[in-house]
Amino acid sequence: MSIMAKVLKLPDAEKARLTYDEEGDVLYISFGEPREATDSMDLDGIVYRYRGENLIGITVLGFRRRIKSRPKSSS
């Protein structure tokens, strides 16, 4: 499976749980109950965590910095 195919194979978003660590500036997104990952992929500070072929979580390092550096939309 290619890297992008693996990244884009998302689970049911309705079961997503978001937790933000303000001190560490890290956003954790878990799909379903938290479980131990068997594999992970770090793409520029965004860590995709897998259990087998299933994406079980995403960790965004430097979340606040990433949000502040995004260009504002012109809506």
Inter-residue contact 55 to 63 (CB < 8 Å): no
Say if CB 9 and CB 44 are below 8 A apart.
no
The answer, yes or no, to whether residue 1 has pLDDT greater than 50, is no
Q: What is the pLDDT of residues 27-68, one digit of tens each?
A: 999 998 878 999 999 999 999 999 998 889 999 999 998 888
Neighbour count for residue 57 (Cβ, 10 Å): 21
Domain ranges for the chain, please list them. 3-67
Structure tokens at 57: 């979580």
Higher pLDDT, 35 or 72: 35
Taking residues 23-30, what's their average pLDDT? 94
pTM here? Answer: 0.73
